[in-house]
Chain A
């Protein structure tokens, strides 16, 4: 039992209210299962946006289908609830239309890597300046607990009654190889750490991918539980160099004791910048033509 400094409710409550982080919340209470990691993400995103003083009206949260689909409803920001697996292209469209917006796409592992799997490589490749928070609980929550692309081998669900035999994806490795310019991993149980990474991801210019490990408290009581994750997760080595892709990929291969933190970050042209460049070149070409 870790000793606590005395907590006096009214002091704490004032502190929280003054911090302003509550302003990013909706009126309605979230309807996720009690204990769901999405609460951690909601808190984390609210805190991060608050830390960055991101104006609510300039923030858009986009979701697909799955337990994440309701996410925008629980944030007091602009939100877009799209179709299964189609969150990223919608988010791209929004960003291209207005570079000033802070765009956050959020979805689960099924939404992102199964039906939507085709979209991730391209969004990463183009380095669209959005943040994609992928909530990985290794299961289909909304359809009541079938295996997902990140389910462990041997995971038994209604659709894998004799244990899942398909090897799970390694999302971090995928994203690193797809060329995502910011890749991090967090865990719903480490709420403060999560919030901290979300803030960094939002600050990054370019496609930032934050992989959030979480249990499904309702449909996975055995495998990926808070208890098990608590024991499994660790922090990235203190000497980790997040500019070294090889090192990042090396770290990403450890799936048994997942390391949390910022794996890799680099600065390169975003889609927005590229479009600006195209516009510049076109402009320049027109000018030289008139001189000649």
Chain B
């Protein structure tokens, strides 16, 4: 078109056309790869969900492909980052959703990113084929201790990178907490099996039922260190935190002693190892995490009538998704706040009858981001129970190490920048290092460690992250999409949940609802730019903008890290050096693109990708 011809003539004499791929007459695309901090910073700032994802998932990418109905591609985009989309699509802690731009004040509710992940996994075709880009074999051998999320993630990446990997798993099957910690009504096992299988099929040997340790019939770690080029510890946090009781400072653990009290973690582990568990009519659960909620909901399913959860602070401050809390309440489980256990009431037969709490007031914030609770003297009271489940946290176990390894003062293992322990060739990752966290963090860490371990094995860094910038020839969103309400996850009727223990509560979004939800995504990775050289400052774009997203600017601040800061707006004609799209406000509706008289607005897709060096 005329104006494009002109643009070539008057704007970009110096333009490098070498990268253009021609398709007939039309230029299809020109892709630019950038490591400029401003470009990388742009993605980091403007795609908040991806920035918040420990596994660095390309969220706009996979949501966009759902809109296009390319579920398989969407699934792959996920798998590239987090290995187990079908699993995480159900039980991920969703650090991405609280930061979703759609949830910012005035923008409505965040996109249900997690549920869409699940949709991609379930809606992809039967014949979907996963794809992997395999490196040539390196003949390096790596042993991984622990087949949980972190171990599996690391194993996957290391095998892709060409190393031969062996996982040593204590339990009968790989999966760790995913398989033995999370109840089936939240995570059906079929999906888990397939995805673990996919993650480990590129030449990963999984040795199950093998315990690494010092006892006989256990394999000592030192053997592994001799047999393998590198060993990676990913044994997570498999021990429950003991319940501290202010008024019963005995050295033996009362919970362990009482016949009708148990630690939630053990309760769930046993259950999923196949033991039959029973609970009384009144079940008191102490603790505020996923484990506590799971215990309570399992207890309801095991027939307990009155199940209650007791927490130190209040609902607003516990690290659990609102949906989970709501479902627990629907199942008739009240959450009682501001109370700390101080003692157990035990009758003459040594059976626990009640738990004494002290009333709390809220204190400051811990470094961990958790809320302090400060007991109020003299405010003690008692709650009766038939069964007591305690789930106040988990800790690592490292007594199985038969080589001298440096520990920190919490007796967690100490690792360096390169994730290597004080022992050469011995690496550690996941919860085993960081303490109990989330599945996605474990996977994220596992993958980071894999890359570091690879560079150590190969003696050089083999990959780095760059921004892939691809022109988009037309706006792919419509303003209408912003008015779509967040699609609610359909759930099984409460009555039906208790009949069959394993009925999955969240039923998943069907294709239509997934499409509707996917459309809501702003696709923050689309970058609208105005070619200031060709702009006539006519403000036609501002006129049609649905929001305050295009601005007359004097300039822009640059942060210390070289990324862009705030736009410096102006209403003074003489100062208006440029008209610029404020990508914070921009909801990628494309209205401006359509009206620009000089066609000076361009759209690019900005994605962080991994490139070989």
Contact = CB atoms under 8 A, between A and B. Distances in A.
Establish whether A and B are touching in the complex (CB under 8 Å).
yes
Interface of A: 1-10, 12-14, 16-17, 22-23, 25-30, 32, 34-37, 39-40, 42-43, 74, 76, 188-193, 215, 217, 226, 230-234
A76 to B, nearest CB: 7
B3 A3 contact: no
Nearest to B603: A1
Nearest to B36: A6
A40 B600 CA distance: 13
Nearest to A215: B597
Contact of B12 (A2, A23, A27, A193): A2
Contact of B555 (A10, A34, A76): A10
20 contacts: A1-B602, A2-B4, A3-B19, A3-B27, A7-B529, A12-B577, A16-B532, A34-B539, A35-B538, A39-B536, A42-B536, A76-B574, A189-B2, A191-B535, A192-B533, A193-B6, A230-B1, A230-B3, A232-B2, A233-B2
A234 B2 contact: yes
Contact of A2 (B27, B540, B552, B578): B27
B598 A189 contact: yes
Nearest to B564: A9
Contacts of A22: 574-577
A97 to B, nearest CB: 29
Contacts of B29: 1
A26 B574 CA distance: 6
Contacts of B38: 8
A185 B542 CA distance: 29
A11 B88 CA distance: 43
A5 B573 contact: no
Nearest to A39: B538
A27 B3 contact: no
Contact of A13 (B541, B556, B571): B556
Contacts of A17: 577
Given A12-B578, A25-B573, A192-B534, A3 B17 contact: yes
B556 A9 contact: yes
Interface in B131-166: none
Contacts of B575: 22
Interface of B: 1-4, 6-8, 10-12, 14-17, 19-20, 27, 29-30, 32, 34, 36, 38-39, 469, 471-473, 529, 531-543, 552-556, 558, 564, 571-578, 580, 595, 597-598, 602, 604
A35 B595 contact: yes
Contacts, number: 145
Contacts of B12: 2, 4-5
Contacts of A34: 538-543
A3 B34 CA distance: 15
Contacts of A29: 539, 552, 571, 573, 576
Given A35-B538, A35-B540, 6 more contacts: A3-B27, A14-B555, A29-B539, A188-B536, A191-B534, A191-B536
A43 B531 contact: no
B580 A9 contact: yes
Contacts of A189: 2-3, 597-598
Nearest to A7: B529
A43 B536 contact: yes
Contacts of A231: 1-2
B2 A230 contact: yes
Contacts of B529: 4, 7
A30 B543 CA distance: 14
Nearest to B539: A34
A28 B573 contact: yes
B378 to A, nearest CB: 62
B6 A192 contact: yes
Contacts of B532: 7, 9, 12-13, 16
A74 to B, nearest CB: 7
A43 B536 CA distance: 6
A13 B543 contact: no
Contacts of B7: 2
A264 B571 CA distance: 41
Contacts of A2: 4, 7-8, 12, 27
A177 to B, nearest CB: 28
Nearest to A37: B597
Closest 3 CB pairs of A and B: A35-B540, A3-B30, A34-B543
A13 B553 contact: yes
A14 B533 CA distance: 12
A152 to B, nearest CB: 19
A181 B561 CA distance: 57
A52 to B, nearest CB: 19
A10 B538 CA distance: 21
Contacts of A1: 27, 29, 471-473, 602
Contacts of A26: 573-574
Most buried by B among A8, A9, A37: A9
Contact of A3 (B6, B15, B542): B15
Contact of B540 (A5, A7, A217): A217
A69 to B, nearest CB: 18
A190 B10 contact: yes
A280 B204 CA distance: 103
Nearest to A191: B536
A53 B595 CA distance: 33
Contacts of B576: 22, 25, 29
Nearest to B574: A25
A190 B564 contact: no
A98 B36 CA distance: 54
A3 B471 contact: yes
A198 to B, nearest CB: 13
Contacts of A74: 573
Nearest to B543: A34
Nearest to B530: A7
Contacts of B538: 32, 34-36, 39-40
A29 to B, nearest CB: 5
